[in-house]
Amino acid sequence: MTSLDQLKQFTTVVADTGDFQLLSQYAPQDATTNPSLVLKAAQKPEYRHILDKVVRDGAGKPVDALIDDVLVAFGREILAVIPGRVSTEVDARLSFDTAATVTKAREIVARYDAAGVPRERVLIKIASTWEGIQAARVLQAEGTRTNMTLLFSLAQAVACADVGAQLISPFVGRIYDWYVKRDGKTFEPENDPGVQSVRRIHAYYKAHGVGTEVMGASFRSVGQVLALAGCDLLTISPDLLEALRNSDQPVERKLGAGTPEVIEKLDLDEKRFRWSLNEDAMATEKLAEGIRLFGIDTVKLEALIAGIAG
């Protein structure tokens, strides 16, 4: 068996891409997108027809509405290939506005509803700010399932669980990047701060009976992926999926075997959440950076659409 096939015995494999033509090669259950991934895919000549159709069908719409149409168009194409769910992201520039995030999420879901896509096949991605987490509380109560992204700390994970988020996406690679830059050295998977962060979150959830799914994300290496075998889900880029498919390295379950680690339950209100996040320099910096970068790529996608619309 390939390493990819072995991994699928322990973990639900998710493809982290907007390039839906690649999906059938790896047979993932779900797929995730973000503004950066959709921008990358949208710039490929083979997907230009999707943009042209969105602009043509949406003549007269404002650019922000066309962006939502593009995101959902790619989401629908992805859902035609995979059996599970697609994650579609709310504009990162709304990350500090609960009401606007809820409104935007409802607009995205309405587009999927209009296309006949069952709501259980859609996850709305929201940045794990305090405001984003409160938006998830509202959306989950309405039956809209959320994927809490840009997550770098246990405090964020606990707050997301407290509002009943469907799924969280703790970022392994970006945590790793921060510590490599700070310490001036690399880390083997077992000592990788990003891997250790996800393991702790997973253990906390299992120890306290949390139903929110944990999906490790943002990987830099096959080693990081395999160090989290047994996590509920792992969302993996096409290049690492290919490496796993071309490998026969044995894969062992690393999470979920044996008795969960005992971790003290956290009680977080807004003040405690903000203080905990502030005390974690890595999480504070990577959350802010991630929001900025997704915002930049959303602006680029808007410019691309505006250029086609003329």
Residues noted as catalytic: 125
**Tokens, residue 248:** 């026969």
Pairwise CA distance, residues 234 & 170, whole Å: 10
Reduced to 3 states (helix: H, G, I; strand: E, B; else coil), residue 170 is strand
**Tokens, residue 213:** 């799914």
Q: Report the chain's terminal Cα–Cα distance, integer Å.
A: 51
**Tokens, residue 79:** 């859902």
**Tokens, residue 266:** 């956290």
**Tokens, residue 183:** 């310490």
Q: At what angle do helices 281-309 and 154-162 cross, to 10 degrees?
A: 70
Q: Which residues contact 234 (CB under 8 A, 6 or more apart)?
A: 7, 11, 12, 13, 14, 215, 216, 217, 219, 225, 228
CA distances, 55 to each of 48, 62, 81, 302 (Å): 11, 10, 24, 12
Pairwise CA distance, residues 13 & 9, whole Å: 10
Q: Which of 108, 102, 58 is nearest to 88 (CA)?
A: 108
Pairwise CA distance, residues 233 & 56, whole Å: 37
Q: 56-86 burial, b for 16+ CB within 10 Å, e for fewer? A: eebeebeeeebbbbbbbbbbbbbbebbebbb
